[in-house]
Amino acid sequence: MSRMNPEKARELRDELRDGKRRKRPAAFVPQPGTRKHRELRFDHRHPEHVDEARKLLSGLEGMDIDTGLAPYSLSIWYEISSYSLEGLEAALVRQGFHLDNSVYSKLVRTVVYFCEETQMRNMRVPERLIKKSHEIYSKAWEHHPHGDHDDTPPELRQDR
């Protein structure tokens, strides 16, 4: 088996699929939007888990699955509003799958969990109406008692 180098990695990433060149975003880089591409990495001592997980995950609606770029891995695409990496991995572990537990994988997993959780929390918070905030404070100021307010009707005021 040949060693992985940058040229080989680009070749795998950009391989032809159905006559079209398919470029994959890296699985663990910032991905704007709600569609995420992640890589599930399995323990090398259980290579059979890759195919079993592919069969299991292919039954999920909105989940796209492909062979991973790393050995013993799967590339998955999903909507963050439907799935999270943490939830998917937890479900696989409950089913008896063994994930890669190297320090690198644990670190990447933790960062991805945090980012996805933060993005979902931000999506649930209503957007502030910044353009209207000035009007709100102006109306509050009008109703607040202060020294610049004169209750005398304009027709009763005398010009001095």
Tell me what pLDDT residue 127 has: 66
* Sign of the alpha-carbon torsion through 8, 71, 52, 64: negative
pLDDT value at residue 3: 74
3-class DSSP assignment, residue 117? helix
If one counts every other C-beta atom within 10 angstroms of the C-beta of residue 115, the result is: 16
The predicted pLDDT at position 106 comes to: 95
User: Which residues are registered as beta bridge partners of 66?
Assistant: 75
DSSP structure class, residue 18: T
User: What does the pLDDT read at residue 26?
Assistant: 67
pTM above 0.85? Answer: no
- Write down all domains in the chain, each with its CATH number in brackets: 27-124 (3.30.70.100)
Q: Which amino acid is at 155?
A: E
Quick check: 113 pLDDT over 80? Answer: yes
Q: Which of 9-18, 100-109, 132-141, 148-157 has the highest mean pLDDT?
A: 100-109
- 146 vs 105, 124, 140, 143, 152, CA distance in Å? 61, 38, 11, 9, 15
Which of 57, 75, 58 shows the shortest CA–CA distance to 66? 75
Of residues 102 and 9, more confidently modeled: 102
- Whether 160 shows a pLDDT value over 60: the answer reads no
Greater confidence, 137 or 34?
34
Residue % of the chain over a pLDDT of 70: 76
Q: In this predicted structure, what is the pLDDT of residue 130?
A: 63
